[in-house]
Amino acid sequence: MRLIVRTYGRVWEFRAESATSLAELFEEEGVEIPAASQIQSEAVAYLPDGGGYLLGSEGRDSPIYRVDCRP
């Protein structure tokens, strides 16, 4: 199981192959991962293939950043 969490200043990923619940997942220590600097940093989502994630902010013309993950 994987979960990506974004705060206004950082992005964290939690991973636990054997986790079957969020409680179990949060027993693992999160790892800080790269993030773009954005005003009102609010959105994060994995790409459908799990090979990266998207970062976004609020506002009509806000850019969306793609971060590729390497094994």
Q: What is the pLDDT of residues 35-52, one digit of tens each?
A: 888 888 889 999 999 899
Number of domains in the chain: 1
Expressed as residue numbers, the domain containing 35 is: 2-68
pLDDT on residue 71: 60
Could you tell me which of 6, 1, 41, 50 has the C-alpha nearest to residue 23? 1
22: left (phi over 0), alpha (psi -120 to 50) or beta: alpha
Single pTM value for the model: 0.81
C-alpha 53/C-alpha 68 separation (Å) is 7
Judge contact between 3 and 20, C-beta under 8 A: no
Helices (H), 1-71: 22-25
